[in-house]
Amino acid sequence: MIYKIWTILLLFLFIHSDIHAIVFERRKSLSDEIFEYYIVAGPLERPGIGSLITVGAIVNNIPVPWVEDGKFNLIGGFGKGKGANQFEGQDMDAYGLTIIDFPIFSNNFTFSPARLTATKFSYPFFERGIHSDPDRKFILMADKVAQNIGEFSYYFLDRQVELFYTFFNAEVDFYGYQDYEGDFVDLRDVEDFGEGTQKWTERWGVLLDDTDFRRDPRIGYFLKIDRWQWPNRTPQESSWYQYDLEMTGYIPLINMKLISVVNQYFSTSKVIKYGKVTKYNCTDQQLLLYPKCQQIVDEAYQRDLIESKKGRATALGGFERLRGYPEGRFYDENTNFRAIELRYYFDPVDINFDVILAKGFLAEFQLAGFYEQGTVSPDLGEDFWRNFRNSYGFGLRFITGSAVARFDFGFSDEGSAVSIWWDYPF
């Protein structure tokens, strides 16, 4: 089904490639292309991963002299702190540099590279399923992890259609993992999971952005289709394809100041290669000390065997979907998510600022309220349309000359979460 939609979009693109816009003309602003920079410092804590003191810089609309009207954006920073889990109390270092939409030959053909690294890194994964226990976690750990990212984009019309290809090359010195029962498994000497392991991920996609403004839309619609190819992250995990379809509509309600935004997101997966699961036999000494040893080991083997044959769709929870839950809280082979957000724009404020740590143009403030529903399921049957988890909250957004910063406060039946991020969730 997704491939059929993709084909229709590509045919539509080439048939209409000579027109300036699809339906909605882009609105313009004198402040769209101004040079901006921000330098910020502060604490950053991600539950289950670690806590850091960070310093970061964001620079927007850096000119490229050899390309007419060529500009790109840059985000970079570093942090120092302490790790978590098996790395509790150990020094953790991190840094990253991202270049966004660097023009190649023209602004319609861009490259976005990034380099992200961290030491003493650990990441928690919850159990599979919408009814999973929030207290049971699988924790993957690495002495060092680095990720090289590159995205090529080609734009048509007034950047209303985008074709993109993204690669992710992870360099990982695996340390081990802690399973759901709390047992630690060392991966340092395991083939393909020791020091210097390489994990490669790819993404292909097409984006249709028929709105009045790419950065801050107030009317129109948005459609994105992409396919990921994921490698296994532990020996017993499968490798899989992930297919995503996202649709968003922007509906002005009151004088282009109160905007209703509705979002529908589907994700599904298909296994490429099963994981490797080895059955363990308890020794006579272990059976003497623990008579149920083999029974426990066999049950764990059966769970791992089933899990090794399943894929993963996009997880729910975090700064984009189900914002009232922890990052990656729910996942399974299929994901169904929907949301509505009301965005209210206060009167524009023309504030130019140029201080030591920041330079730019503050255009508007926005207050938003949101309600979200999402579920995950092992198939596309009845469970794909029921057992929804709910999240709700509010956000404060700052719209500058070339970027959107947001603070979202989400709530759910498991507590609350705060998201601080650039750009809208949808």
pLDDT grade, residue 168 (50/70/90)? very high
Please give the structure tokens belonging to residue 399.
Answer: 């719209």
Q: Using CA atoms, how far apart are residues 55 and 43, in angstroms rounded to an integer?
A: 9
Split at pLDDT 50, 70, 90, the class of 160 is: very high
- The answer, yes or no, to whether residue 30 has pLDDT greater than 70, is no
Question: Average pLDDT of 217-222?
Answer: 95
Q: What number is the average pLDDT over the span 81-108? A: 91
The reported pLDDT for the residue numbered 164 is 97
What does the alpha-carbon distance between residue 38 and residue 353 come to, in Å, rounded to a whole number? Answer: 11
How high is the pLDDT of residue 408? 96
What's the whole-number mean pLDDT along residues 385-401? 93
| Confidence (pLDDT) at 22 | 76
pTM (global) more than 0.85? yes
Q: Mean pLDDT throughout 92-101?
A: 95
3-state SS record for 314-383 = CCECCCCCCCCCCCCCECCCEEEEEEEEEEEECCCCCEEEEECCEEEEEEEEEEEEEEEEEEEECCCCHH
The percent of residues above 70 in pLDDT, for the chain, comes to 94
The rounded distance, in Å, linking the Cα atoms of 313 and 374 is 13
Q: Which two tokens stand for residue 248?
A: 């968003």
Place of tokens 């120092």: 80
Residues in CB range of 104: below 8 A, 6 or more apart: 110, 111
Checking if the pLDDT of 244 tops 90, the result is yes
Selection from 202, 207, 223 nearest residue 163 by Cα? 207
C-alpha–C-alpha distance, residues 418 and 426, integer Å: 17
Ordered domains of the chain (ranges, CATH) = 2-274+309-422 (2.40.160)
